[in-house]
Amino acid sequence: MPLTQRRRSITSYDSKRSAPSKFIPNLTQLQEALTDLPDPELWAENTCSCSILVEKKQKFIEFTRKRINRGSSRPYRWIYEGKILIRKRDA
């Protein structure tokens, strides 16, 4: 799908937002959301939700910002802690 037809946005987690749906992204959708993630070192919130358009509906994929041990440094990285759908054609 061309970029001009995709609607995506990035938001920090908002407790007023309704509970997430039972959406399980596939690898392609997860990779699409990854392109919108901000630099975890500069992002102030501990979560970031990226929206993607799936069958003309906006779906959210949430990432958590965590520190990892990287030698003597402890940089932040984005972690996806949900489930992922792996289709036969993705394998």
Cα(81)–Cα(12) distance, integer angstroms:
16
User: pLDDT of 7-27, one tens digit each?
Assistant: 445 555 444 455 556 889 999
What's this model's pTM, rounded to 2 decimal places?
0.71
44 has pLDDT over 80 = yes
Show the domain range for 9. 3-90
91 has pLDDT over 80 = no
User: pLDDT of 54-66, one tens digit each?
Assistant: 999 999 999 999 9
User: In the prediction, which pLDDT does 11 show?
Assistant: 57
* Domain count within the chain: 1
Structure letter (DSSP) for residue 70 = B
